[in-house]
Structure 1
Amino acid sequence: MGLWRWRKRGPKASRRYPVPLTVHQLWMVSLSAPVSRDRGASRTTLYPFTRVDDDSARRWLADQWEITSREQLVGRLDDLSRSGYRARAYRLTGVSPLAWDAALYVDIARRGFACGLIGESDAWTALKNIVPAVAGTYGSWREYADHYLLGRQVWRDGLRGTEDARFPAPQAVADEYLRSLLDPANRASPWNLAPWDTISHPDRTR
């Protein structure tokens, strides 16, 4: 008889955070949608998972970003907002893909909130801080997606020859996922639930 490890699933995150996001909040959370490909990821809540799993957020920040404290989290967010990976991308391509850094920025902020490194109000403040730059750079989710993919490609190319080269999913996987987010027929896509121009109009409840 084979052995297997059973892990208790946490309660639904919607039970801990039952108040739905406003359309502006959903738009801000949706900046990280390209990064949220995992089956258990939530794309419509500030909490990054569909079920409560604070430990996963903590492990991911430590393993992928070497973030284990509030100070490290704030420092990483500051770096991504100021220059991030787009500085290297600009040197190589002549294009500065803010979308790649913005997606990572929002993803890190959400996970930092999930594991308690920052509170909910601080997480929303962090997300609001990136909005002017993103909204002023792009005119649609498609433009945002194109720059995200460019930034991801430059990042993947930079991993060649290192022990992390096999870590990221193939570019084709990211391409297909972005196509699904942009598909007008995809009712589950947060980009359809919060169209790009949402952030330019008065906020409202959903």
Structure 2
Amino acid sequence: MFDINEIRKRAQAASDAASRQLNESMEKSRKITEQMQEDMEAAQAAREAGQQQDAEQAAAQQRQVEILGQMFSPDVMAQMAATEEMIQKAVDEKVAEAAALGVEGMMNQFFGDDTALVAAALETLAMEEEDPELDQALEEELYRILEEKLAQIDRLPEPEPIVYPKGDPRWEQFGILLSGIISHLNDHRLDGMDVEEHIPVMEQQIASLVRRSWGISGRGELLDTIRYLAEEGYVLRCRLYGEASSPEALMEESDDEEECASVCRGWRFAQWYKLRFGPEFLVGWDVGRAAMLARWGCFLGWITEGEALGILWELSQKAAEELHSWREFAESYLLGGMMWKLLCGDSSAESYLGFLADAATDLLTGKGDGGQWRGCPWPAPRKIGFQPRG
């Protein structure tokens, strides 16, 4: 549970620190501007009076160049532009989305850990004051909504799967596109391994995102999590829940009331869908998140590009063996997202499913800058393909 008072204190402290930093930057810019103006006026007066020598004029001009360099260096301008964009997005665009999406929605926040607490506080307050309790009636309504979204995905047009020859570069792109849904939700690039431009503010954002959303702070934790998703993940969890004769068989004596309720919701989900899909169908949910972690880890320098390509290659083979189209991959992702929300007891599942379905629709139909899935057909069943670069 969050200590709201502590959150508010830390949030205020972060806001005050940001304001001080901005004021200091503005004051520095003002002083630099005034100094430049004084130098220009002095040089002009000297020229008119004929009192300046050529060397002094050159020195004054050099001073002006240095001042301009301080004001308009590429690094400073990039930092200022990025900061302005962060503030604009965080204040005007992301607060409502974070509250609607829950924990996953907070991934789009653009500040450090202290300011992330503001989003956490908003989400917590929204859940306490607005979100209805996830009772069994609402749970059944969520199943109905999930069916609507699955039907929406199933109607999408998609190119027929094709066989990727050995060494086909589309294997590499296919692996990157397995991260498509999360990338789309976070406005990440999908045209290569890098998720964003390599500037300090974006690297800090991604590091904070991975640490806050996954509890991952470095290479070891990253690889352990990817390994878990690739080998166990929700596929194993759904299998265990589906094979259990009752939710009580999954509970432990130490489980509290909330944990028991979570187990019951997960058990009902697995029983509801086990004859229609089976646990292996959730491989898309596991693989999609693992692919995103591989790209984030490569961007942060925790793993090399060669390692990331090797991971994506293995994930690609796993996805292609179990699923047969981007539509199935998207449906798998919605099912996994639904189970995750049920286990968490998060009643915002309706809006979350809507975001996932919309992202998949854009990736397959080409709305806006989308259509990346459509441009890379699903690989037809075959185990031979792209060999990762070493």
TM-score bracket for the superposition, by shorter chain length:
0.7 to 0.9
Q: Say whether 1:43 aligns with 2:225.
A: no
Give the counterpart of 2:306 among 121, 132, 138: 121
Write the deviation string for residues 173-205 of structure 1: whole angstroms up to 9, x where unpaired.
Answer: 2112212222267773211121113795866xx
Give the counterpart of 1:23 among 170, 176, 179: 170
1:134 is aligned to 319
1:63 is aligned to 212
- Kept in 1, the 8 Å contact 2:291–2:312? The answer is yes
1:98 is aligned to 283
| Cα shift at 1:57 | 1.8
CA distance change for structure 1 residues 158 and 188 in 2, over 3 Å: closer, same or farther?
A: same
Amino acid at match of 1:190: Q
Give the counterpart of 1:182 among 364, 372, 375: 364
| Cα shift at 1:7 | 4.5
Deviates most, 52-61 or 69-78: 52-61
CA distance change for structure 1 residues 60 and 184 in 2, over 3 Å: closer, same or farther?
A: closer
> Rg: which structure is higher?
2
Q: Say whether 1:171 aligns with 2:320.
A: no
Q: Say whether 1:152 aligns with 2:225.
A: no
Q: Quick one: distance in 2 between partners of 1:150 and 1:56? A: 28
Q: Quick one: distance in 2 between partners of 1:48 and 1:68? A: 18
| Cα shift at 1:167 | 9.6
Amino acid at match of 1:89: C
| Cα shift at 1:89 | 3.0
TM-score (norm 2): 0.43
Q: Quick one: distance in 2 between partners of 1:99 and 1:72? A: 21
- Kept in 1, the 8 Å contact 2:284–2:332? The answer is yes
CA distance change for structure 1 residues 202 and 103 in 2, over 3 Å: closer, same or farther?
A: closer
1:193 is aligned to 375
**How many residues are matched?**
188
Q: Quick one: distance in 2 between partners of 1:109 and 1:43? A: 13
Local SS of the residue matching 1:192: coil
RCO comparison, higher one (Cα < 8 Å, 6+): 1
Q: Quick one: distance in 1 between partners of 2:373 and 2:186? A: 18
- Kept in 2, the 8 Å contact 1:24–1:199? The answer is no
- Kept in 1, the 8 Å contact 2:174–2:316? The answer is no
Q: Quick one: distance in 1 between partners of 2:350 and 2:367? A: 28
Q: Quick one: distance in 2 between partners of 1:36 and 1:88? A: 25
Give the counterpart of 2:294 among 89, 93, 109: 109
- Kept in 1, the 8 Å contact 2:219–2:302? The answer is yes
Q: Quick one: distance in 2 between partners of 1:65 and 1:58? A: 10
Structure 2: give runs of 5+ residues left out of the alignment. Answer: 1-17, 23-78, 84-167, 242-269
Q: Quick one: distance in 1 between partners of 2:214 and 2:228? A: 12
CA distance change for structure 1 residues 67 and 196 in 2, over 3 Å: closer, same or farther?
A: same
CA distance change for structure 1 residues 27 and 198 in 2, over 3 Å: closer, same or farther?
A: farther
Instruction: Give % identity.
Output: 20
CA distance change for structure 1 residues 169 and 87 in 2, over 3 Å: closer, same or farther?
A: farther
Larger proportion of helix? 2
Amino acid at match of 1:191: W
CA distance change for structure 1 residues 7 and 187 in 2, over 3 Å: closer, same or farther?
A: closer
| Cα shift at 1:67 | 0.9
Q: Quick one: distance in 1 between partners of 2:366 and 2:207? A: 34
2:66 is aligned to none
CA distance change for structure 1 residues 187 and 60 in 2, over 3 Å: closer, same or farther?
A: closer
| Cα shift at 1:113 | 0.6
Local SS of the residue matching 1:35: helix
RMSD: 3.0
CA distance change for structure 1 residues 51 and 195 in 2, over 3 Å: closer, same or farther?
A: farther
